[in-house]
Structure 1
Amino acid sequence: MSEQPASSAKTQAIKQVSSIWLVPIIAIGIGIWMLIQFMTSQGPEITLKMDTAEGIEVGKTEIKALNVKVGVVTGVTLNEDYSAIEVTAQMNKDAARMLKDDTLFWVVKPRIGKSGVSGLETLLSGSYIQLQPGRSEVDKRHFEVLDVPPVAPPDAKGLRLVLTHNEAGKLAVGDPVLYEGFTVGRVEQTTFDTKTKKAHYQLFIFQPYDSLIRKRTRFWLTSGVDLQMSAEGFNLKIGSIESLITGGVSFRVPKGREPGELITKQMSKFRLYNNLKDVRERFFDEYLEYVMLFDESVRGLKPGAPIEYRGIRIGTVQKVPLSLPTAREGFTNKDIPVLIRIELGRVNTHAHHTTLAELKESLDKEFKNGLRATLKTGNLLTGALLIDTEVYPDDKMPTESKYANYDIFPTKAGGFAQFQKQISSILTKINDLPVEDTLATLNRTLETSQGTLAAAEKVANELNKLLAKKDTQAIPTEIRESLQQIQETLNGYGPEAAPYQNLQQALDQFEQVMTELQPVLRQLNEKPNSLIFTGEKPADPIPVRGQ
């Protein structure tokens, strides 16, 4: 049996890579491309600092600019000291050019504020973060979110100003800026400088009203209702409806003043005054300070009270009193010092032609001629006082000319104080009258008169007896008639006669008047001012609890 040879195997080369691997390779390539595309399409990551995370949701809260989505919130955490919220947001690539040093962020949500109602569209869609692009050249990635929306964007046309005041809280963001009652701007920002201890209020004046700002423009606080009571009476002013609710700030160039050049520089600084009256007062910055010494009550005299000369204001009261008595002096010094200032601009309407030295020299001459200051009532309802000046040629120059390094402005008691002194002098003279001695003398005179009348009555009785005798009747008729006339004359001074009755009645009335006058004299002796002022004040009412 023959063996058949074994068949030989055929070999063939196998491919190194299978075509099946193309699928994952393509998938990986697509993934890498998508990753690169995602990385290149993403913008920078920013951090926002907020006071609260109300309405902020991770992955849902969007960041918008002009109502276009430019980012989304990716994280919300507390900062290290738990004082604020740090929000992380992923911005789009195109938003990178918006993130500058002056970029602003704020949360858009329903608000009811001074400028009206806003953010109602977020009631259904939810809150979002609004971005206002900056114009600075400096990039920034960490921002603080504003509590309220800004008044105007950085590129808005207008003028930004800064007002300074010694107190904070005078204005709030959004308060109106008024010119003659018309809103021409808003308060943008309020800060407080701890170094200078002054508050700064940033305003934005809309165009074209920025042309109203001049070098001598003055700003003052505007309240809804301004009621002032002073020696000049009542002054009531009512602002716009908005300022009536929120207040604000007004400005203008005071009347009678040159406006000066136009202000175009951004962030120019001005002073903020409390009211228009302070604005007017500050224009009289050139003045002479004097001290007035009054030996009467200064109740009702307040700082800011006017100093007048025949109804024309020439100065202002600065401090009442200038100083209190020391422990060594006690109240032995009756004079109360009041610091005043005589303002150059008020004394002379052409003040730029007169210096303070000339004004002082003129006042010194007037003091020698009798220029004196007196207190007068400026308002009977409020009891406010003012200082009036007048020339009294009979008065001599006071011996003192200095008080605590201040020149003395001579004074004179006037008005009610002088009237009270005159009344007190009259009452003192009445009290010094010898009333008791006069009454005693009158009583003695009355007793003497009664004795004289009794003697006359006795003589008349004797004559009656004499005439009744027969011997007397035999006397010639002429003598008898003479005796009868004497008898009639003596009878005229008897108790039943009219002169005696009149004298007796007059003496009785005088004694009654003096008796009734004694309590009045006793009261005047104890309280000389009882003719002007009433008796003791009634007791204060005691409140009773309701049933």
Structure 2
Amino acid sequence: MSESSPPQAKKEAIKQISSIWLVPIIAVGIGIWMLFQFITSQGPEIVLKIDTAEGIEVGKTEIKALNVKVGVVTGVTLNEDYSAIEVTAQMDKDAARMLKDDTLFWVVKPRIGKSGVSGLDTLLSGAYIQLQPGKSGEEQRTFDVLDIPPVAPPDAKGLRLVLTHNEAGKLGVGDPVLYEGFTVGRVENVTFDTETKKAHYQLFIFEPYNSLIRKSTRFWLTSGVDIQMSAEGFNLKIGSIESLITGGVSFRVPKGREPGELITKNKSKFRLYNNIKQVRERFFEDYLEYVMLFDESVRGLKPGAPIEYRGIQIGTVRKVPLDIMASKKNFSNREIPVLVRIELDRVIAHVKYDNLDMLRASLEEEFKYGLRGSLKTANLLTGALLVDVGVFAEEKTYKHQSYGEYDVFPTKAGGFAQIQKEISSMLKKINNLPVEDTLLTLNKTLETSQKTLLAAEKVATELNSLLAQKDTKAIPGEIRESLQQIQATLDGYGKDGATYQNLDQALIQFEQVMTELQPVLRQINEKPNSLIFSGEKAADPIPVGGRQ
């Protein structure tokens, strides 16, 4: 190296990274860590199917469990066939364990329903989706949102029952379940089976009232107001205010029945009856079926009408009419068949029979002595009929008959029918009377009477005219004078009159003459010839009173 050349610096490659790069590296690491934390902290994404998106807002509507946020709605879209709304929700990581196949969702918003008022807090905060955790072991990510909140959670303490009925619409979700008027449960689900064509009503009975459910328990519809009209008058029963508004279902073990074993199995099935009367009737399972043939109108006789013996129910009418045999081609002079049941449990309450065979044999024997059934008015206001059974001594003729597969219970025309027949017979006799001839004769008589009355009226008029004349008015005065003269003449023959005194003197003289003639008459009686020949002079008579 020469003295004139400048000094040269040594060049060496630097291998150390600058510390400035630590900042972005740390930032990237933090970002990756935050992304990892975000991903790992996120729960599963679920899809909720709902009928309407009313009140649902993306990013605002929360999903809560026990009032704790566990998710948020992230999307709202229509499904492929536009039949429902699909709501996408992002759940928290901790909420994953709640998502089972029995998990329930429903929208909480202001409601006024059968069970009361709820969701008033959402008036300010907005609607949210309530989650009820499931207990099943099978996970699920797609759910149907309920229209109304459930009555009780799946793990609630109590008993679930299923009632079946032939008709839907008898009960609604939330309707009360009553025991002796006290609410002990709710209707929580209503479905209809298209195969069996029966409605299913699922009840939830709260604990400890589930201990009231026995094998013999019966359920019936409660209308809130029960009005019954019978021979005793009107019977009005009013339930609770809630049942008065919404109705409900009541249950108990009917009186006189054994309760049976306790029901503990969930979703045990029971039959739902229309009323308590139907419950009582269904307990009479041992019965004899007969057909009664009536030759009178059965209007007013309905299925369920009682069959009574002296006011005591012994059976029930089942079908009115039973049928009309197809082999008959006309209805003229046909009897109407009515299917009836004579129920053993009703009869043995008064007469002891061991079984149906004994009851049948006894009835056959009673038929020979005049046991008959007849129609009788049960209610004059509604025209309802019942079948009255009694013994008619004049009905001694009986021959066993059958109608199809049923034996015939002999009948007799009821009292009202008999009265109708008698009235009809009387009307026929009246129709056969010569009413027209009688009316003609009566008309002639009336015409003659009218002429007579006119003649009498004419005579009366003439008489009145005659009496009004002056000569006629003078007649009474002349008659009065004649009567006075007659009275004066009669007075001349009185005791003080001259005629009477002259007659009295003549009678006295006649009496003296007769006294003087008595001796002559006596002599003539003694000697009839003394008037011709003289005889001895008779001695002077001596008065009897003069002898001493």
* Fold match by TM threshold 0.5: yes
Q: How does 1:347-362 map to 2 (within 5 A)?
A: 347-349=347-349, 354-362=354-362
Other-structure match for 1:405: 405
Note if 1:35 corresponds to 2:35. Answer: yes
- Match of 1:340, SS state, is strand
> CA–CA distance in 1 between the matches of 2:23 and 2:352?
97
Other-structure match for 1:419: 419
Cα offset, 1:333, TM superposition = 2.8
- Farther-moved stretch of structure 1 (91-100 vs 228-237): 228-237
Note if 1:112 corresponds to 2:112. Answer: yes
Note if 1:252 corresponds to 2:252. Answer: yes
Which ranges of structure 1 fall in alignment gaps of 5 or more residues? 441-547
- Match of 1:373, SS state, is strand
Contact 1:232 1:378 in 2 (8 A): no
Please give the per-residue CA displacement for 1:484-539, whole angstroms capped at 9, x wherever unaligned.
xxxxxxxxxxxxxxxxxxxxxxxxxxxxxxxxxxxxxxxxxxxxxxxxxxxxxxxx
Please give the per-residue CA displacement for 1:95-138, whole angstroms capped at 9, x wherever unaligned.
11111121111100011111111101111111000111111111
- Match of 1:317, SS state, is strand
Q: 1:185 to 1:54 in 2, by over 3 A?
A: same
Note if 1:22 corresponds to 2:25. Answer: no
- Match of 1:367, SS state, is helix
Q: 1:438 to 1:38 in 2, by over 3 A?
A: closer
Structure 2 counterpart of 1:101, one-letter code: D
Structure 2 counterpart of 1:171, one-letter code: L
Other-structure match for 1:273: 273
Q: How does 1:56-71 map to 2 (within 5 A)?
A: 56-71=56-71
Other-structure match for 1:174: 174
Please give the per-residue CA displacement for 1:401-457, whole angstroms capped at 9, x wherever unaligned.
1112221110001211112223334455566678999999xxxxxxxxxxxxxxxxx
Other-structure match for 1:127: 127
Structure 2 counterpart of 1:123, one-letter code: L
Other-structure match for 2:392: 392
Cα offset, 1:297, TM superposition = 1.4
Other-structure match for 2:51: 51
Other-structure match for 2:502: none
Q: 1:353 to 1:390 in 2, by over 3 A?
A: closer
Q: How does 1:68-467 map to 2 (within 5 A)?
A: 68-229=68-229, 234-324=234-324, 329-349=329-349, 354-399=354-399, 401-428=401-428
- Cα RMSD for the two superposed structures: 2.5
Alignment: residue pair count:
439
Structure 1 counterpart of 2:147, one-letter code: D
Contact 1:231 1:377 in 2 (8 A): no
> CA–CA distance in 2 between the matches of 1:424 and 1:45?
87
Structure 2 counterpart of 1:249, one-letter code: V
Q: 1:133 to 1:97 in 2, by over 3 A?
A: same
Q: 1:427 to 1:75 in 2, by over 3 A?
A: closer
Q: 1:43 to 1:406 in 2, by over 3 A?
A: same
Q: 1:66 to 1:3 in 2, by over 3 A?
A: closer
Cα offset, 1:231, TM superposition = 7.6
> CA–CA distance in 2 between the matches of 1:436 and 1:245?
67
> CA–CA distance in 2 between the matches of 1:207 and 1:437?
89
Q: How does 1:483-494 map to 2 (within 5 A)?
A: none
> CA–CA distance in 1 between the matches of 2:436 and 2:3?
190
Other-structure match for 1:476: none
Contact 2:353 2:359 in 1 (8 A): no
> CA–CA distance in 1 between the matches of 2:341 and 2:116?
47
How does the TM-score come out when normalised to structure 1?
Answer: 0.76
Structure 2 counterpart of 1:410, one-letter code: P
- Match of 2:288, SS state, is strand
Cα offset, 1:229, TM superposition = 5.0
Structure 2 counterpart of 1:284, one-letter code: F
> CA–CA distance in 2 between the matches of 1:407 and 1:196?
33
- Match of 2:210, SS state, is helix
Cα offset, 1:6, TM superposition = 4.0
- Match of 2:360, SS state, is helix
- Match of 1:44, SS state, is strand
Q: 1:212 to 1:328 in 2, by over 3 A?
A: closer
- Match of 1:315, SS state, is strand
Identity %: 79
Cα offset, 1:234, TM superposition = 4.5
Structure 1 counterpart of 2:11, one-letter code: T
Structure 1 counterpart of 2:295, one-letter code: D
- Match of 2:36, SS state, is helix
Contact 2:185 2:204 in 1 (8 A): yes
Cα offset, 1:293, TM superposition = 0.9
Other-structure match for 1:477: none
> CA–CA distance in 1 between the matches of 2:264 and 2:258?
18
Contact 1:372 1:409 in 2 (8 A): yes
Contact 1:172 1:190 in 2 (8 A): yes
Contact 2:368 2:398 in 1 (8 A): no
Cα offset, 1:235, TM superposition = 4.3
Cα offset, 1:281, TM superposition = 0.6
Other-structure match for 2:461: none
Cα offset, 1:237, TM superposition = 2.6
Please give the per-residue CA displacement for 1:159-218, whole angstroms capped at 9, x wherever unaligned.
111111111111111000001111111111111122222111111111111111111010
> CA–CA distance in 1 between the matches of 2:8 and 2:434?
176
